Amino acid sequence: MSDSTRDPAPVTQGQAPRFEFIETWPAIEPADAERVREFWKRENAIPDEQQASRRLPQVAMIATTPDGEVAGVCTALQVVPPRLGQPVYYWRCFVGAAWRSSRLVDKLLRRSCATLDAYARAHDFPCIGVLLELENSRFGEKLRTATWWNLRFSYIGKSPRGLDLRVHYFRGARLKESTS
């Protein structure tokens, strides 16, 4: 099921780039999967075919340029981190080199969280929120507040790799019964 939102205005000098956002959650269409595979390979993000094949079912949203080129992709994987003991979507994002100075990662995060939230609500909350493991050092430098106001991501500690962890809980989500 693909749903796209278009920003049809052309990009002119000095303006922020416009992107089309294509929802691919919970199942990516074959044509979109091939475009993402080519993007990952071109950008040297996931050049290994087997690894790319394993990651493709996790694609939640694709951002494309006005001419249809894939500019960024985000994925979500259901996990139960030991420190939380609750199911959450582990969110990843990769933005192409040409778009890294834009606000694309922020737009992908906002839009894909809304998509995952809507899916969770409609399916009795298979996950209660979204988990970020911040690999990009710019986040650690610029966003040091304990709670980010925009999407209500809260700092919850460090990952086993020593990276900041943040979680956003879906409104209305309730803790699952412990299975341990």
pLDDT in tens, 23-60: 999 999 999 999 999 999 999 999 899 999 999 999 99
Helix (H, G, I), strand (E, B) or coil at 6: coil
Q: What is the mean pLDDT of residues 54-67?
A: 97
- Asked whether the CA dihedral 135, 140, 145, 150 is positive or negative, the reply is negative
Query: What superfamily would CATH give domain 3-169?
Result: Gcn5-related N-acetyltransferase (GNAT) (3.40.630.30)
pTM for this predicted structure: 0.84
pLDDT in tens, 89-104: 999 999 999 999 999 9
Instruction: Give the number of residues written for the chain.
Output: 180
Per-residue model confidence (pLDDT) at position 2: 39
